[in-house]
Structure 1
Amino acid sequence: MMNVLLNIVLPVFALIGAGWLARRKQWLGPTAAAELNRFVVYVAMPALLFRIMATASWSDLAQPGFTAAFGIGCGVIFVAAIAQGRRRGHDLADASLGGLNASYANVGFIGFPLCLAAFGPSSLTSVTISAIVTVCALFGVSVALMEWSQNQGSGLHILRKSLVSVVRNPMVMAPVVGVIYGATVSTVPTGADHFLKYLSDAASPCALVSLGAFIGEERQPTRWSKVSPLVALKLFGQPSVTWVFAHMVFHLSPALTGVAVVIAALPTGTGPYMLANMYGRDAQAVAGSILMSTLLSLITITGLIALLGSG
């Protein structure tokens, strides 16, 4: 386990720590996290996703068992967290935000570099599928529930707004365009491929530094008792459910099971924070959940990679 911690997990989290330190020391300004995030979301990560999907074969993309195992794991935890929130008297909007908080894995910022280090380049197509499920399906359902709760229009309006939100997300469209390109054009020209590779190589380190800078922002104290149940669902519940479906229901290979479980065990991503700000909800609690889950995942992910095997 120590070898996994030192050689795979710590280098990834050290980049988060570098971003955190740079923000706390004010080497990075107050808008650094947001600007780095925008570069990753709108430029570097779409280039990475497009390149992966444009050069992948259809046999690589045909992973129904993996997609189902990971998707069901997300869905079960999402519904469980919503039910928990409703029992505590939260309205549907806050309960939905809690559901997203407990199930939205940080695939884009941590999943790609971590799985690349732990499982090798062959895992990146599966990670991309996970990113699409998370960013497209899970985030889209959350937007629809927030709209429904706040009664901002008819059912058709809610559906249209959710679809527009998803379609405008470059992390959704880039792999879709990549699949279309790969199906219609045989290869990516050498010059264009070099350009995409340069941007792709910048995606992971910039994403991790951005996340660290975001966590390093000065904020009001967080009520940990409020976020602890969501963090428990995220770090323990989601990988457990995913393992059951990956290993026992769909009988995935050990490698695919490992990728699915490790991605499910990732800490909460920034999607819930963006949604909380968008709808004027308690963004402080979401930020606290991101911070707690990120710190604790250093231990849980190390254990999972050691248990499931690193490649």
Structure 2
Amino acid sequence: MLNILLVTFPFFALVLAGYVAAHRRMLPIEAIPGLNGFVLFFALPCMLYRFGSTTPIAALLDAAVAGVYLLCALVMVAFAVVMTMNSRIRWNDASLGALVAAFPNSGFMGVPLLVALLGPAAAGPTILTMLVDMVITSSLCVALSRLDEGEGHGRAAMVDAGKKALKGVAANPMPWAILLGAVASFYQFRLPGPVEKTTWLLADAASPVALFTIGAVLARSQIQSSHPMPVGDFLPVALMKLLLHPLLVLAVGTAARQLGLPLDPFALTVMVLVAALPSASNVSLLAERLGADNGRIARIILVTTVAAFFSFSGAVTLLT
């Protein structure tokens, strides 16, 4: 356990550093979008391309991993929506809450952390689960969030929102970086020396800046949404993310293996640990854009990020 904490501590310490910097205004709140832009459009795509191009193509096209993980994501979304909708929490808030229950922070935190813990072989399954969440889980939740827009027009609004969500995916550089990395892996292509060195430098910057940015985003969300809220509005969803999600992936993956699905045991371990990660921090920005209760989403992300230091480390101890 101590050896695992020695690996995970620096990752969570960087999140804490970003939180403190923004909360104490050592980092201006206005600078956070710039950090986000650097990570999203430069550093993280380079990191994903590097891992994709150096990972065997079979690991990036594993249908068993994608199928099991997608099934679990759909179950999590459905369960979270059903369990949280009430007279105050309607489709918009319930759907975005379901997204933070099913979408781990696999991009900003998961890839570098799991590679550090399990080695380069963990990159393939982690990237594949992230692709499922970015393309399918996010698009589904955005579409569901529009169901209470205008009586009698919910279905049309959902279709329109689904189209906009897919356009958003197409404008996101991360799926394209994964795709280009997979193509490079298939053809065993390498970038020209100076270009590769530049790309690798940006990739090296992704992990520390992304983790620092997570903390800053959490601090900003807490500063901007300080209104009181019942614990029951956010704590159950946080528990779903940290406990139910990894247990569901483990149960479904184990059952699939017993039924003969060619799911590699190492890949299943990676998938369970991905599910044990805290909620994706970028859902807070999405909630703000869609007019959902961003204070609730921010609280869920904050609780899962703080608690994951212990729960994630415990999961690693049990599974490895």
The two structures have a TM-score, normalised by structure 2, of 0.89
Residue 271 of structure 1 is matched in structure 2 by 282
Give the Cα separation in 1 of the matches to 2:158 and 2:85. 22
Give the Cα separation in 1 of the matches to 2:216 and 2:158. 38
2:240 is equivalent to residue 227 of structure 1: no
Residue 204 of structure 2 is matched in structure 1 by 201
Kindly tell me: are residues 88 and 233 of structure 1, through their superposed partners in 2, closer, same or farther at Cα, counting changes over 3 Å? farther
2:3 is equivalent to residue 3 of structure 1: yes
The range that moved more, 177-186 or 289-298, is 177-186
Residues 37-79 of structure 1 show CA distances to partners (whole Å, capped at 9, x for unaligned) of 1211111111111222233332222322222222222221111
The range that moved more, 152-161 or 27-36, is 152-161
Is contact 1:104–1:271 with CA below 8 Å preserved after alignment?
no
Give the Cα separation in 1 of the matches to 2:27 and 2:301. 20
Give the Cα separation in 1 of the matches to 2:48 and 2:147. 31
The two structures have a TM-score, normalised by structure 1, of 0.92
Residues 174-204 of structure 1 show CA distances to partners (whole Å, capped at 9, x for unaligned) of 2123333444563222222211111111111
Kindly tell me: are residues 118 and 300 of structure 1, through their superposed partners in 2, closer, same or farther at Cα, counting changes over 3 Å? same
Give the Cα separation in 2 of the matches to 1:237 and 1:88. 25
Give the Cα separation in 1 of the matches to 2:15 and 2:299. 16
Q: 1:154: how far off? A: 5.8
Residue 219 of structure 2 is matched in structure 1 by 216
Q: 1:171: how far off? A: 1.3
Q: 1:34: how far off? A: 2.3
Residue 294 of structure 1 is matched in structure 2 by 305
2:170 is equivalent to residue 167 of structure 1: yes
Kindly tell me: are residues 64 and 36 of structure 1, through their superposed partners in 2, closer, same or farther at Cα, counting changes over 3 Å? same
The range that moved more, 85-94 or 43-52, is 85-94
Is contact 1:19–1:213 with CA below 8 Å preserved after alignment?
yes
Give the Cα separation in 2 of the matches to 1:84 and 1:221. 23
2:99 is equivalent to residue 96 of structure 1: no
Residue 45 of structure 1 is matched in structure 2 by 44
Residue 319 of structure 2 is matched in structure 1 by 308
The range that moved more, 151-160 or 25-34, is 151-160
Q: 1:117: how far off? A: 1.5
Residue 285 of structure 1 is matched in structure 2 by 296
Q: Secondary structure at the match of 2:14?
A: helix
Q: Aligned match of 1:262 in 238, 252, 273?
A: 273
Is contact 1:52–1:178 with CA below 8 Å preserved after alignment?
yes
Residue 241 of structure 1 is matched in structure 2 by 248
2:62 is equivalent to residue 59 of structure 1: no
Residue 32 of structure 2 is matched in structure 1 by 33
Is contact 2:18–2:215 with CA below 8 Å preserved after alignment?
yes
Q: 1:24: how far off? A: 2.5
Considering only aligned residues, what root-mean-square deviation do their CA atoms show, in Å?
2.0
Is contact 1:69–1:250 with CA below 8 Å preserved after alignment?
no
The range that moved more, 71-80 or 173-182, is 173-182
Is contact 2:47–2:206 with CA below 8 Å preserved after alignment?
yes
The range that moved more, 51-60 or 33-42, is 51-60
2:140 is equivalent to residue 141 of structure 1: yes
Q: Aligned match of 2:160 in 153, 157, 176?
A: 157
The range that moved more, 111-120 or 81-90, is 81-90
Question: Aligned partner of 2:226: which letter?
Answer: Q
Kindly tell me: are residues 32 and 247 of structure 1, through their superposed partners in 2, closer, same or farther at Cα, counting changes over 3 Å? farther
Residues 110-136 of structure 1 show CA distances to partners (whole Å, capped at 9, x for unaligned) of 102210221111211211111111111
Question: Aligned partner of 1:246: which letter?
Answer: G
**Consecutive unaligned residues in structure 1, runs of 5 or more:** none
Kindly tell me: are residues 55 and 36 of structure 1, through their superposed partners in 2, closer, same or farther at Cα, counting changes over 3 Å? same
Give the Cα separation in 1 of the matches to 2:302 and 2:158. 35
Kindly tell me: are residues 18 and 89 of structure 1, through their superposed partners in 2, closer, same or farther at Cα, counting changes over 3 Å? closer
Q: 1:269: how far off? A: 1.0
Is contact 2:146–2:157 with CA below 8 Å preserved after alignment?
no
Is contact 2:144–2:158 with CA below 8 Å preserved after alignment?
no
Kindly tell me: are residues 64 and 115 of structure 1, through their superposed partners in 2, closer, same or farther at Cα, counting changes over 3 Å? same
Q: Secondary structure at the match of 1:250?
A: helix
**Consecutive unaligned residues in structure 2, runs of 5 or more:** none
Q: 1:213: how far off? A: 1.2
Q: 1:102: how far off? A: 1.1
Q: Secondary structure at the match of 2:29?
A: coil
Is contact 2:140–2:162 with CA below 8 Å preserved after alignment?
no
The range that moved more, 92-101 or 8-17, is 92-101
Q: 1:301: how far off? A: 0.4
